[in-house]
Chain A
């Protein structure tokens, strides 16, 4: 038997989580046109966030050249990167590709095999203004003029509010799939509609997806996968679904996207004026309130507070995002005997764990369970893959787990999860028709014929069995009879 070869975390320091949390955003941006970016780059906040989303080498080349008057040249990039001066244009292009895709630089062919990369003027201006604070677009949010003695929610309250709102949605999704009785408030109908259009939830009674009853939605396998992602990825996915929905309604999405970035640059605990900060995206801002991105003291006030969901939007990588609640998210201890200890009392986390863990003991702040075949396979039936489970386990690993030598998760467990995944695909059921032959020649002829018509499923020359696609049965029978007659007459 062939040994399965899996990519161990040993060989790859960032196993499977290497996909950036903003992957959905990246693909979205990569498909946009020049004019779209021109509109985006009017906001300094966007310039800053886009800069940070570039890979480090490209990012530093941009910063390196930001204050120069002349366009960037390929020769400069080469010398800065210690490339051979004769290195092909391809190599430079590879490094600068992300910046070119984001339309930060415009490639201009200078001489043969030489390029000029002048900056996009609006980006250059935007980034310079972001660094010097000389912009005029109010993209970092206009503070709200509040009365001296107004009540201001504390940072903790804002975090709690944001968590409640977003986890409420997630819990609703989980409970719809598992039938566990959470006392979950149903999210607002706009949210449910988005969940439906994004394919995270469907109405099982409505196979066409045209007229869903949004009160009877259940989670899909895509939805389960969504649940296992880390928070940053979830947020961006939701936002991109939202953005796509807007696009589908042929609305301008640049303003909305620009607003996302602005929110990401705001300060937790500070209140902003909605009408002054986002004069053209007020309705989108209202929609975001339903997901817990912002908090409004009263539904129609101009004042709003971004929650941590919003302010952490642009924190680049997942680790930095967790910042404030990092310790809460690192609660899992996984032993080599498949036992899992989860120090959590969060209903949602428990529900998610329940998807693939056999929970044996439940204390107020501790769950003890076991990864076993039955539960993992039932999770896989729901569409969750082994690598998703692995990435969930490793991203939630308790700090204690980091004290043992790497890999973080023991290879035994990683391998076993992969094996269970394979096991699911080990047998494939197919209908077939079997032919049994007594003459070797007839068998061979029929095999060749079936093969030619792509109707052969399996041939066993020793036993002289042929297995044929059922729908070709009649044709093959015809052929066999004909051939049989020929052979007989030949004899």
Chain B
């Protein structure tokens, strides 16, 4: 949230460094089945033009087609731009592009009407997705039905993406520091060599609810698919692992990304009609890394949105290009004991673990807490009643017929509505 620069300092960069875009695509089958048959949207009375657009079913093939065009546009926007794509499916993540070195080469013959790099990228994504689908199929046939209910493994994909970033631009703290201890002093020492690519990560989330950690959320998802029996057992079984790999893992990734100055952009596909609550931890990730968080409103035009919001590289964002206004960010956390999302929690003063209820011994570091304070804490806890958040984004100055504004406004309204809807519900569904 950089304030707009003063008007007089208007200068535009002549060149930008090449940009590497790492896309993490959520291809969880359950989420996509939801997205391809969306419930009708509530009427959007404030703007009749927007209301005319109907809820758009978005199937994975449709979306991948759109994504390919977007990625081609990214490649087209500068020489030396690169794309890396990870697919995140139920409980696993895989590199889709660039292909592993030993993989069979793509189509040997270039087509006369498509730029060869585009063609390579597109065919390889298709191939990679098919491979991954086949693997999932295999998993299912091996009787591993439960695994399908795991949330998509965003954290794993994020760690992989960050490792990749680290490989192409090693952080100064490790390698350089060992070679030359004083090099850390000169913070700009990284900029040697003529052209250093800038990297960013784009997470495309398709799973409703904060797809990490909230077992009740994923239960909700699969519940709609009439699959109740398995869920409960699974929910219990994978809780610990999810939490650890979920909230903490995501946060660790966020800090690593912060350190590497890699913005994490988040595009959340489930429209408010499917997903009342935004994925707050992904939102936090975008906020903390100065990325862009945006939730689709379910009314088509994804291709335009992608180009408008996510195409400009980080060096052109904020200045000179505007980014869509970001909404209020809930800095909520997940407790270590029941993996609930908390507004108010109990924190161990020694190890800073978070709990949702007062206890006498810290689960993590075994510190004993004074027993006599527990009743006080308990009474404190009973007052915890989350308050609704007011509509936070002020309505922009509406210019008649300005499309950019329509988009922004549209996005904002939907988002703030989503926040409200979420906040008025009690958060702990447990």
Contacts and interface: CB of A to CB of B under 8 A. Distances in A.
A267 B115 CA distance: 9
A452 interface: no
A319 B307 contact: no
B321 A48 contact: no
Given A56-B16, A56-B78, A63-B73, A140 B192 contact: no
Given A73-B402, A320-B79, A402-B194, A79 B113 contact: no
Given A76-B403, A81-B320, A138 B112 contact: yes
Interface string A40-60: 000011001001100111011
A453 interface: no
B360 to A, nearest CB: 55
Interface stretch (B2-10, B150-158, B231-239, B279-287): B2-10
Contacts of B79: 52, 314-317, 320
A133 B322 CA distance: 30
Select the residue from A83, A132, A139, A276 with max chain B CB neighbours within 10 A: A132
Contact of A60 (B18, B77, B80): B77
Contacts of B401: 73
A141 B193 CA distance: 35
B15 A64 contact: no
A140 B115 contact: yes
Interface stretch (B41-49, B116-124, B141-149, B165-173): B116-124
A22 B213 CA distance: 53
Interface in B279-321: 303-304, 307-308, 311-312, 316, 319-321
Contact of A141 (B16, B72, B110, B312): B110
A66 B70 CA distance: 11
Interface residues of A, number: 60
Contacts of A18: 14
A137 B113 contact: yes
A131 B73 contact: yes
A82 interface: yes
Interface in B255-299: none
Interface residues of B, number: 51
A79 B322 contact: yes
Given A80-B322, A131-B76, A57 B316 contact: yes
Contacts of B195: 319-320
A67 B303 contact: yes
Interface of B: 4-5, 7, 10, 12-16, 18, 69, 72-73, 76-80, 109-116, 118-119, 122, 192-195, 303-304, 307-308, 311-312, 316, 319-322, 397, 399, 401-405
Interface of A: 18, 44-45, 48, 51-52, 55-57, 59-60, 63-64, 66-68, 70, 73, 75-76, 79-85, 87, 91, 95, 129-143, 265-267, 270, 276-277, 314-317, 319-320, 399, 402-403
Given A129-B113, A319-B195, A320-B18, 11 more contacts: A56-B16, A59-B78, A76-B403, A82-B4, A87-B7, A132-B69, A133-B118, A135-B114, A141-B112, A265-B115, A320-B195
Nearest 7 Cβ contacts at the A-B interface? A133-B114, A138-B112, A316-B79, A135-B113, A142-B112, A131-B72, A57-B12
